[in-house]
Amino acid sequence: MDVSISPSTVHGTARAPPSKSYTHRAILAAGYADGAAVTDPLLSADTRATARAVEAFGGSVAVTDDESRLDVDGFDGVPGVPADVIDCANSGTTMRLVTAAAGLVDGTTVLTGDESLRSRPQGPLLDALTELGARAESTRENGQAPLVVTGPISGGRVSIPGDVSSQYVTALLMAGANTDEGIRVDLETELKSAPYVDITLDVLDAFGVDAHRTDDGFAVDGGQRYDPGGEYAVPGDFSSLSYLLAAGAVAAPEGLTLDGAVPSAQGDTAIVDVLDRMGAAVDWDREAGTIDVSQSSLSGTTVDVGDTPDLLPTIAALGAIADGETRIENVEHVRYKETDRVSAMAEELTKLGASVTEHEDELVVYGDESELVGARVDGRKDHRIVMALSVVGLVAEGETTVAGGEHVDVSFPNFFDVLADLGATVRR
């Protein structure tokens, strides 16, 4: 689906969608439990893939008519052998979390996904499961899906790199609580995207599971039982909120109010500080869970995205609009997402008239040298690229057409409806 955005102003009030990261973990945690209600979930293509995986292991997930709650009957820590291949679609989080869950199965699980997902690295997680006693293989012997995992594991100690994906740690901790011995994860390198493991610890704690940091990494005791005490409420998603905040900072002369901005363990709350440093008029009332932002003269800044890789597209878009130089550092691991987001943003922003220099571990956007003009750009089948380019379309001269607009369904299904409701000129 092509989506065209023309220069527009936005105003009014919008609500952050529920957190995708929290929803994934909560659905699987409810599956590991005897059952639970997950309230205020994000129902997207990615999180539905996790729900299907829970059902494949013997649980069930029912959605209420208003989609405000998921009623999950879990498999109580003992996932059954799936009757069919588990299709994780485009969801890397689903594949990694479910691959570790498959290690608990007394039998064999086969996992696959779409073309993009089948190109993403899974090798360190397969190696860890093998160390723990499972048979965990890539059918093409390249560390990528399709994957075949035969368990069960009983727990133990493993060593993995921390600079590819924090989701390996999350997957092992969530599964480890249901092993006999527990799992200790030692990190061989510095952990990138560390706040995402903090999200995991937060969800595990809410479900009554104790997992903790160690001197060398993380650990979870075995023999624990998942139990949230009935229900678990998902907080708002700051990754998705970042696009609306950016839209407010570049195109809301009368101001924009965003609800659902409740403090949590999400590292992407850093977008508020980034906007502040760029000179945006932004005010976060943490107690009320609201953020007010208005159009401002932005200046470039330097941002390390080692812990916040999902913010790179948003910051790159802001850098193209701001004065001066925006330097985004520590970006190499952002290349292993739905697409190489570093190259994707460099190439697509260039089509819009931005001046961009791409390095292996750095992306530099020169706002002073950019003259943004509408053009046809490719969203690369990546929800975050689509939304970030759409923000630029609000200020680029003429019409900007983003190909692949339907991919926002992964994390923010009604993104373009929200943008239009706020006053943006959006044509689909």
Active site residues: 310
Q: Can you read off the two tokens belonging to residue 264?
A: 């949590």
Q: In what order do the strands lie in the sheet with 60-63?
A: 60-63, 69-73, 35-39, 231-233
**Is 417 annotated as belonging to a binding site?**
no
User: Based on the domain organization, do 89 and 187 belong to the same domain?
Assistant: yes
For residue 280, what are its two tokens? Answer: 């945006």
Residues 280 and 206 in one domain: no
Q: What is the structure's pLDDT at 338?
A: 86
Residues 67, 216 within the same domain: yes
Instruction: With respect to residue 29, please indicate whether it lies within any of the assigned structural domains.
Output: yes
pLDDT of residue 189: 95
Query: How far is residue 149's CA from residue 140's CA, in Å, rounded to a whole number?
Result: 14
For residues 183 and 175, give the distance between their C-alpha atoms in angstroms, rounded to a whole number: 8
Domain containing 98 — which CATH number? 3.65.10.10
Neighbours of 68 (CB within 10 A): 12
d(CA 396, CA 424): 13
Question: What pLDDT, in 10s, does the model give residues 134-155?
Answer: 999 999 999 999 999 999 999 9
Whether residue 271 lies inside any domain: the answer is yes
Are residue 61 and residue 204 in the same domain, yes or no? yes
Let me know whether 188 and 85 are in one domain. Answer: yes
Residue type, 420: A
Domain-terminating residue out of 172, 195, 224: 224
Last residue within a domain, chosen from 197, 224, 251? 224
CA angle 8, 12, 13 (to 5 degrees): 125
Would you say 68 is a known binding-site residue?
no
Reading phi first (left if > 0) and then psi (alpha if -120 to 50, else beta), residue 279 is in left
Is 165 flagged in the annotation as binding?
yes
So what's the pLDDT on residue 166? 95
Per this entry, what is the length of the chain?
428
Judge if 125 and 56 occupy the same domain.
Answer: yes
Position 153 in a domain: yes
Q: Are residues 8 and 49 in the same domain?
A: no
Which residues, 6 or more positions from 176, have their beta carbon under 8 angstroms from its beta carbon? 155, 182, 183, 211, 219, 220, 222
Query: Are residues 350 and 359 in contact, defined by beta-carbon separation less than 8 angstroms?
Result: no
Assigned domain for 230 exists: no
Instruction: Say whether both 347 and 329 belong to one domain.
Output: yes
Tell which of 224, 255, 286 closes a domain: 224
> Do 186 and 302 reside in the same domain of the chain?
no
Same-domain pairing of 266 and 304: yes
- Round to whole Å and give the CA distance between 291 and 278: 16
The pLDDT of residue 420:
98
Asked if residue 86 is part of any domain, the answer here is yes
Kind plus residue range of the DSSP H or E element containing 377: strand 376-378
Determine whether the annotation assigns residue 310 to a binding site: yes
pLDDT of the residue at 16? 84
Q: Which of 396, 298, 300 is nearest to 349 (CA)?
A: 396
Q: How many domains does the chain have?
A: 2
Question: pLDDT per residue over 21-35, tens digit each?
Answer: 999 999 999 999 999
Helix (H, G, I), strand (E, B) or coil at 291: strand
Amino acid in the structure at residue 110? V
Listed as ranges, residues in the chain with pLDDT below 70 are none
Residue 276 shares a structural domain with residue 184: no
Whether 231 is in a domain gets the answer no
* Amino acid symbol at 309: P
| 193 marked among binding-site residues | yes
Is there a single domain that holds both residue 213 and residue 259?
Answer: no
Q: Indicate the burial class of 358 (C-beta count within 10 angstroms; 0-12, 13-18, 19 or more).
A: middle
Task: Map tokens 């530099």 to a residue.
Answer: 364
Pull the structure tokens for residue 202. 């937060």
Give the position of tokens 């936005």: 10
Strand partners, 328: 303, 363
Print the domain residue range for 251.
2-17+236-427
Q: How far apart are CA 18 and CA 39, in angstroms?
A: 10
Ligand-binding annotation for 120, yes or no, is yes
Provide CB contacts within 8 A for 349, sequence distance 6+.
Answer: 316, 317, 320, 356, 365, 370, 389, 392
Q: Which residues pair with 413 in a beta bridge?
A: none
Whole-model pTM? Answer: 0.86
Q: Could you give the CA distance from residue 331 to residue 360 in angstroms, rounded to a whole number?
A: 8
Evaluate whether 4 touches 401 at the Cβ level (below 8 Å): yes
Distances (CA, A) of 329 to 148, 293, 353: 36, 25, 22
290 belongs to a structural domain: yes
Is residue 287 helix, strand or coil? coil
Cis check for the bond before 152: say yes or no (omega within 30 of 0).
yes
20 is in an annotated binding site: yes
Residues 6+ apart with CB under 8 A from 217: 162, 169, 184, 185, 186, 187, 191
Q: State the amino acid at position 208 in one-letter form.
A: G
92 is in an annotated binding site: yes
In this structure, is residue 229 part of a structural domain? no
